[in-house]
Every structure is written in C-alpha cells, then in structure tokens.
Amino acid sequence: MYKKLILLILSLMIGVTLSGCFNDQGKKTKEGDQAVEAAKINSTEKLEEAKEVEEERVETINLSSVGDILIHNTVFWAAYDEKSKSYDFKPQFKYVKKYLEKSDLTIANLETTLGGAERAYSGYPTFNTPDEIVDALKDSGVDVLTASNNHRMDTGEAGFFRTVRVVREKGLEIVGVKASNDEKSYIIKDIKGIKVGIANFSYQDGKINGLRTVNGIPVPKNIDPLIDLIDFSNLDETYKKLENRVSEMKKDGAEVLVFSMHWGNEYQRTQSKEQQLVAKKLADLGVDVIFGGHPHVLEPMDFIHSDISGKDTFIIYSQGNFISSQRQSRYTEDGIIVNVAIKKNFKTGKIEITYSDYMPTWVKKSTVNGKLSYEIIPTEDVINGAIIAGLTSEEKQIIQESSADTKKLMEKYTTKCSVEPVLK
C-alpha cells in the first residue's frame, strides 16, 4: 500500500513537470515564431530602404585632360640634375598639380617614346625621353596616357614595347596601344559606380611597301594590330573601325565613352573638315567626350548635337602643347586643362554632362642660375595675383595675352564652357 502511494505521488509530480515543460515549450515556440516574423518584417523594411537609397542615388564624376607631352631635348636637359646624375621633371608641373590631381581621372597625351638610355635621349624629330617623365606625370595627378600618335614608332619596335611596359610598371594606364593581341587597347574604369571607357586613335600616313606609316616610319606587321590608327583618306573604313570600337566597349560595360583623337593640321587654330566629319560620326555613335590633339596649338571646343544618338557630345578639337619647347609661334606656348563633369542618376540610368570648364596654361621658359627651366603656368593664377617666382613684367603681359587668346578661341562656338575657378 505504501509503495503504491509513493508511485502515485511520483506519477503526479512527473505529470505536472511535463505539463509545465510542454507549456513552456509552446510559449517558447510561439515567441520564436513571433521573432522570426519580426525579423522578416525588419529585413523587408531594410531592403526597401536600401532600394529607395539606390533609386535616389546620383553621382557626379570629374574628368580632366591635357594636351601634348612633347619633350624636346632642351626640356629634358632642364630636368637633369648634375649632382644625382638623374632627371626630375616634377618642378615643371608644380603649378598645375593642384588642378590635375583634383579630378577623378586625368588624361594626357604621351607624344614621345621611352626607348631607354642606351639609345641616347633625343628630341625632335625622333623623340626618346627619360623614364622619369612618367613619374612626374603620375605625381602631378595624371592617371591615363594616350599613346597612339605620330611619334609612336620614333624608337622602333623595341621602343614601342618598352614604352608600354614602362608606363604600366610605373603605375599609369596606357591606351591606343597594347603589348599583345590578347590585350585591349582601351580601358574601362569604374568611377563611383560609373563605368567610363577610354579609347585613343591617331591618323596614319600613306603606306610604304604595303605598310602603314606614322611620321613617315613604317609600322611593322607584328605591331600593326597593336596600335589604333585611322585613315582619313578612307572615311568609310575609318567609320567602320570606330563603330566596331564603340560596340566593343559597350559590350564590355562602358556607360560613358571618352575618345582621345590625334588628328588635324599642325599649327592651325581651326579644325579641319576631316576632324569635323569624324567628330560628327563619333557623336552619332554615342561618344560622350572627345579630346583632340596633334596640331600643337589650341583649337575650339564645342558641343555636337546628334539626332541619331540623342546626345550633345563635348569636344575640344585640339588641346595644344601642355609641355614643350616649341617657340616658333606664341600659340605653341599655350595649353589648356579641360574639365568635364558627368552625372548619373542610378534610378533612371540617365547620364549627362552637367558642366565643363577649363584652365588656360602657358609654358614659361627661362634661365635660372645659368640653367634652363620650364614651368607650366595656369594663367588665371597669375591674373588673380598669385606669386610665381621669377616672373618678369614682360612674361606677365604675355600671360595676359595668352589667357585672352585662349578664352576668345574657346568661346568661338559655345558659351557653355567657363574658365575654371582658381584654386588656392
């Protein structure tokens, strides 16, 4: 009897305990279900918030470009340091550095070769420049070098390949040329979520023994496919080549198309008919920005409207010399820093040029303590009272004239492009 009573009590205790457990478990399950549901709601809300942020996202990027980096022998002589037995071009860019490095991406035209010291450095007519010029360009804020131009073969096949290699080894991008058929001669840069494609083409000269030439130098068969050249005497072929390039870049994801064109007539401050025709074709193909070079003097900027692409393409036909020793005409001393702002609305996908401006420049050549010196001067800095060491009253007057000439030329076709505010 006693044993039965004990068993009964134990059974009741176990039942109560189990009942409590089941009740707690049910409560926990209910609470767990509520927590999961709350997490789902919270996650959905966060996704919707993220979607709203993405839909509202608008980004603006700034692109800059300068003209020809044309290193005559006196320019690299001026960069030579007798004590260290090395070259330093950085002082030549010290006054424009603040303008170049502020952009998201800056382009310059490398109109020389890096053939190496063993070939002996040289200026006109076959340029071979110390590698240190690339260090100076990078230090000043340049990101991309265009290399398809009429001086590309100045140091032959070896110089062609060495130039590509040295530029890359020193950390800059190079376009218009490539080192092998497996590579691409254009680049696509993701800047703040906007994919910018940059390509570069140069005019070619007539053929010699079936080979295309640049600057009268035949392009070897193995290099021919590695440099982007166009033939202005055969516009149908040129248009097809440009059309294929645009198509290829778009397939690779390019949203903004920037073409640097080496073209035009030397020392003429007006664009040629061929430049206008090719520019219109590029606008019809949907190219957003065209930076021109080669004439060694400035040519106008404009906006080209295309009913085919629906775009207003920004163009400057020639950016002149950025650094050189050409003094036969005062206009060869004038250069420019061109800036273009591009905005993308990530909700609509719309991309547009919101503004463009420029900074006129002038190359100062002088002798300091018996040594040659070259410096690129932002003209508006001087006009606004900036102190530039060693400027004579005569040079200040030339800078005033240079600035006025540049502004007049840039305003010839459009008033949409203003002079860049002076940076302190």
Q: How many CB atoms lie within 10 A of CB 114?
A: 24
Who wins on pLDDT, 213 or 8? 213
Question: Model confidence at 423, in pLDDT bands (50, 70, 90)?
Answer: confident
Q: Residue 37 pLDDT > 70, yes or no?
A: no
Question: Model confidence at 282, in pLDDT bands (50, 70, 90)?
Answer: very high
Question: Model confidence at 184, in pLDDT bands (50, 70, 90)?
Answer: very high
* Ranges assigned E (strand) in 192-333: 194-203, 205-208, 211-214, 217-218, 229-230, 256-262, 289-293, 298-305, 312-319, 321-323
Q: What is the pLDDT of residue 416?
A: 82
Residue 92 DSSP code = G
The whole-angstrom separation of Cα 278 and Cα 48 is 46
Q: Residue 169 pLDDT > 60, yes or no?
A: yes
CB 412 within 8 A of CB 300: yes
Q: Which residues contact 103 (CB under 8 A, 6 or more apart)?
A: 62, 63, 64, 141, 339
> Which of these ranges, 91-95, 99-103, 196-200, 367-371, has the smallest mean pLDDT?
367-371
Q: Tokens representing 405?
A: 């000439």
Question: Model confidence at 387, in pLDDT bands (50, 70, 90)?
Answer: confident
Q: Residue 385 pLDDT > 60, yes or no?
A: yes
Q: What percent of the chain has pLDDT over 90?
A: 81
> Which of these ranges, 58-67, 72-81, 279-288, 321-330, has the smallest mean pLDDT?
321-330
Amino acid at 141: G
* Arithmetic mean of pLDDT, 90-104: 97
Q: What is the pLDDT of residue 268?
A: 97
* Arithmetic mean of pLDDT, 110-138: 98
What average pLDDT is seen over the chain? 90
Q: What percent of the chain has pLDDT over 70?
A: 87
Bridge partners of residue 418, in order along the sequence: 357
Q: Residue 44 pLDDT > 70, yes or no?
A: no
Q: What is the pLDDT of residue 313?
A: 97
Q: What is the pLDDT of residue 50?
A: 55
Question: Model confidence at 14, in pLDDT bands (50, 70, 90)?
Answer: very low
Which helix (H) or strand (E) is 383 found in, with range? helix 379-383
Q: Which residues contact 107 (CB under 8 A, 6 or more apart)?
A: 63, 64, 65, 66, 142, 143, 144, 145, 146, 198, 258, 260, 291
Question: Model confidence at 150, in pLDDT bands (50, 70, 90)?
Answer: very high
Q: What is the pLDDT of residue 409?
A: 96
CB 306 within 8 A of CB 27: no
The whole-angstrom separation of Cα 151 and Cα 169 is 21
The whole-angstrom separation of Cα 384 and Cα 103 is 22
